[in-house]
Amino acid sequence: MKTTILWKLRQRFGITAPRLAVRAQVPWYARWLSIAVLLGLSAALAFWVFDAGLRFAGYDRQEADLERTTLRRELESTRAELERLRAIANAADSKLSIERTAQRNLAQQVRTLEADNAKLREEAAIFESMLAADGRSGNPLSIRRFKIEPLPGGEYRYRLLLLASGLRRGEFRGHYDLLVRLTRDGGSAMITVPDNPGPAASGFGLEFRHFQRLEGTFRVPGAARVDSVQVRVYDAGSTQIRATETVQPG
């Protein structure tokens, strides 16, 4: 019995006893910090290896960044130049448009001046004929250049020039009307413009010195066709015709 107990003690505390390991206790945050540092070092090593591989392959990151910055600046400069040229082109287009408008206005003014000049020449010729006829016997009131022009919708425009000379010394007061002869429904008819001709007709009074241009429009009913138009001029307060002329549309 004693031999057995002694043998067990030798087995536990003797040379053949199991080894005892003493370990220091490490806090959990120190372990995680160590792991984080290790991962950071591994990432830095991996990045260094990657960068070294790029350099070995002929790629320089700093040179690439510098070139990228240079290209970005050149792009911005090109865009600024493009905007400047675009503004110059827009200004040139605006100036060209203004010049074209000015040319059109100038051409219109030239045409207007030419028309006015033609009218002045016409009036000068009329005055010459009026002065040549002044002092002669005859009607001191005359009708010149009486014209009838058809317009769409059964409307007609009339133009004429009245001259007063001789006995009245270029002064005339009176009124006028139009006698329109037309064909309607296969028959002839006559209408007067205005509908109430006579001394009291409004809008047809006359008062001028030397000459007066007359212009207006009238309308015929339905599908009627105007054959001729006669203008009749009266003295103020009189129904006696002082001057008349008849023309056909055309």
Residue 10 belongs to a domain = no
Residue keyed to tokens 């919708």: 153
Within this chain, do residues 113 and 210 fall inside the same structural domain, yes or no? no
As a whole-number percent, the residues of the chain with pLDDT over 90 amount to: 17
Contact assessment for residue 204 and residue 242, using Cβ atoms and an 8 Å cutoff: no
Within this chain, do residues 120 and 178 fall inside the same structural domain, yes or no? no
Domain that residue 86 falls in: 69-133
Domains in the chain, number? 2
Q: What is the pLDDT of residues 9-39, one digit of tens each?
A: 565 655 555 665 556 566 777 778 778 888 8
Q: Is pLDDT above 60 for 188? A: yes
Mean pLDDT of 58-63: 65
Q: Which of 186, 195, 183 is nearest to 249 (CA)?
A: 183
Q: Rounded distance, CA 155 to CA 110, Å? A: 31
Within this chain, do residues 110 and 191 fall inside the same structural domain, yes or no? no
Q: Rounded distance, CA 174 to CA 76, Å? A: 82
Residue 20 belongs to a domain = no
Within this chain, do residues 213 and 145 fall inside the same structural domain, yes or no? yes
Of 109, 133, 157, the one marking the end of a domain is 133
At residue 232, the 3 state secondary structure works out as strand
Strand duo 155-164 + 171-184: pairing: unpaired
Residue 34 belongs to a domain = no
For 16-33, give the secondary structure using H, E and C. CCCCCCCCCCCCHHHHHH
Q: What is the pLDDT of residues 73-131, one digit of tens each?
A: 988 988 899 999 989 888 888 888 888 889 999 999 999 999 888 888 877 776 666 65
Within this chain, do residues 152 and 231 fall inside the same structural domain, yes or no? yes
CA angle centred on 210, ends 162 and 193, rounded to 5°: 25
Q: Which ranges of the chain does DSSP label H, i.e. alpha helix?
A: 2-13, 28-56, 61-133
Residue 155 belongs to a domain = yes
pTM tops 0.75, yes or no = no
